């Protein structure tokens, strides 16, 4: 059989892609946000239990070391912020093992930016403005939804108070999954399942959808606060268009001790699940101890946004060579 060596994207698409990338850079230049380039390799990696990190062995000044391919440029960019960089953005190659599909590629480009002193609402506005400036037509003004409200509307359960047994039963039914394969799963898996299979496809169809007030357990590297109903929620937002998750923003956690605890909890959970532990990024923790300015940051899957802007069916249609043909 002939080896398929041809590019995944057409040259016309690649020209369009280059034009959109230039627009992104112009957008930030106009706003005095500095473009930076941070390493793909790091001595620490993401402990997030849902991400699978790639790593490699390198001969360094300290001998052979395991270095982690970054799942996003977050840790290095936060060290720049702590060192006093001011607002920064990056178009960063990022790596997440095992993620291949119509909206996923193991190696992809993340547009990530940080805004010291910005509130979450200010960053939501800026994110929506950027997204709309790249789309060929106006998708409709951004509409905000609370995570809880979406579950009431589309699943008729409350993500915070519904019993685990009931959540499992509803998740199995609505997502066409066997009850048995959810039998040992906790609330988070049931909520993730309902969110990704039932709710997400409904979002961003008539407008740009912005989801806020995620459960506190899904905070990752965001602060937590009590919402209007008194529930602890993550100070985090996500943006959806055409049922596709585009961006994920945080009111950034700046507390080094809290961050250390979350990393340790992740690794404890990894041990419990039999997943490999990930080296904690001690340099990030040291930077947070030194002090990172309060502010907000967001990561946006620029390949997906280009895919939507150009009306392409699959992510590989906007990549020179997708992972299956790299």
Partner 1 sequence: MANYSTNEFKAGLKVMLDGDPCAIVENELVKPGKGQAFNRVKLRNLMTGRVGEKTFKSGDSLEGADVMDLEMEYLYTDGDMWHFMKTDGSFEQYAVEKKALGDTVKWLKEQVPYIITLWDDKAISVTPPNFIELEVVETDPGLKGDTAQGGSKPATLSSGAVVRVPLFINQGEVLKIDTRSGDYVSRA
The candidate with the shortest Cα–Cα distance to 176, out of 162, 194, 160, is 194
187 binds partner 1 (CB under 8 A): no
Is 54 a binder of partner 1 (CB under 8 A)? Answer: no
The least CB distance from residue 172 to partner 1, in Å, is 9
Q: What is the CA radius of gyration of the chain?
A: 20
Q: How far is residue 115's CA from residue 129's CA, in Å, rounded to a whole number?
A: 15
| Residue number, 192 or 289, with CB nearest to partner 1 | 192
Number of residues that bind partner 1 (CB under 8 A): 29
Whose Cβ is closer to partner 1: residue 50's or residue 290's?
A: 50
* Cα–Cα distance measured from residue 110 to residue 223, given in angstroms and rounded to the nearest whole number: 22
Of the candidate residues 165, 176, 183, 272, the single one contacting partner 1 (CB under 8 A):
176
Please list every residue from 105 through 164 that binds partner 1, using CB under 8 A.
Answer: none
Which of 189, 202, 323, 325 is close enough to bind partner 1 by CB under 8 A? 189
Under the criterion CB under 8 A, does residue 93 sit at the interface with partner 1? Answer: no
CB atoms within 10 A of CB 242: 16
Quickly count helices (H) and strands (E) in the chain.
10, 12
Structure tokens at 288: 């947070």
Residue 195 interacting with partner 1 (CB under 8 A): yes
Stretch that binds partner 1, among 120-128, 146-154, 174-182, 202-210 (CB under 8 A): 174-182
Q: Does 103 bind partner 1 (CB under 8 A)?
A: yes
| Cα angle, residue 305 at apex, residues 299 and 310 outer, rounded to 5° | 165
- Nearest 5 degrees, angle CA 152-CA 198-CA 131? 95
Query: Does residue 85 belong to the site contacting partner 1 (CB under 8 A)?
Result: no
| In the complex, minimum distance from the CB of residue 291 to partner 1, in angstroms, rounded to a whole number | 26
What SS3 state is found at 290? helix
To which H or E segment does residue 75 belong?
A: helix 74-82
Question: Nearer Cβ to partner 1, position 67 or 284?
Answer: 284
d(CA 252, CA 258): 12
Distance CA 82, CA 69 (A): 22
CB of 22 to partner 1, least distance (A): 26
In this chain, which of 177, 187, 293, 323 binds partner 1, going by CB under 8 A?
177
> Pick from 107, 245, 251, 303: which binds partner 1 (CB under 8 A)?
245
User: Token digits for 273?
Assistant: 């699940």
Q: Of 1 and 57, which has the nearer Cβ to partner 1?
A: 1
3-state SS class at 63: strand
Chosen residue from 34, 40, 54, 100 binding partner 1 by CB under 8 A? 100
- Our finding on whether 169 is near partner 1 (CB under 8 A) is no
β-pair type (244-251, 295-301): antiparallel
197 binds partner 1 (CB under 8 A): yes
Give the angle subtended at the CA of 78 by the CAs of 126 and 248, to the nearest 5°.
Answer: 40
287: contact with partner 1 by CB under 8 A = no
Binding site for partner 1 (CB under 8 A): 48, 50, 98-104, 175-177, 181, 185, 188-189, 192-193, 195-197, 200, 218, 220, 238, 245, 248, 299, 301
């Amino acid at each position: 059989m002939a080896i398929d060596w041809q590019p995944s994207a057409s040259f016309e698409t690649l020209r369009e892609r280059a034009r959109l990338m230039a627009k992104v850079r112009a957008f930030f230049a106009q706003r005095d946000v500095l473009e930076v380039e941070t390493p793909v390799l790091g001595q620490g990696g993401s402990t997030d239990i849902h991400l699978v990190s790639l790593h490699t062995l390198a001969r360094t000044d300290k001998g052979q070391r395991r270095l982690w391919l970054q799942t996003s440029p977050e840790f290095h960019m936060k060290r720049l912020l702590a060192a006093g960089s001011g607002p920064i953005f990056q178009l960063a190659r990022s790596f997440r093992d095992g993620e291949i599909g119509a909206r996923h590629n193991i190696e992809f480009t993340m547009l990530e930016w940080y805004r010291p002193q910005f509130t979450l609402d200010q960053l939501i506005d800026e994110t929506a403005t950027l997204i709309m400036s790249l789309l060929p037509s106006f998708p409709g003004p951004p509409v905000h939804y609370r995570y809880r409200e979406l579950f009431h509307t589309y699943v008729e359960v409350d993500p915070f108070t519904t019993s685990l047994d009931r959540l499992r039963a509803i998740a199995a039914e609505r997502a066409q999954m066997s009850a048995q394969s959810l039998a040992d799963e906790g609330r988070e898996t049931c909520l993730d399942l309902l969110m990704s299979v039932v709710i997400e496809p409904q979002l961003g169809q008539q407008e740009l959808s912005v989801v806020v007030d995620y459960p506190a357990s899904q905070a990752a590297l965001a602060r937590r606060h009590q919402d209007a109903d008194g529930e602890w929620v993550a100070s985090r937002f996500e943006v959806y268009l055409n049922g596709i998750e585009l961006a994920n923003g945080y009111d950034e956690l700046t507390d080094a001790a809290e961050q250390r605890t979350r990393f340790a909890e992740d690794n404890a959970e990894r041990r419990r699940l039999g997943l490999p532990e990930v080296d904690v990024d001690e340099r990030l923790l040291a930077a947070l101890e030194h002090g990172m300015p309060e502010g907000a940051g967001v990561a946006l899957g620029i390949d997906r946004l280009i895919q939507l802007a150009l009306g392409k069916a699959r992510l590989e249609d906007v990549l020179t060579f997708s992972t299956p043909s790299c």
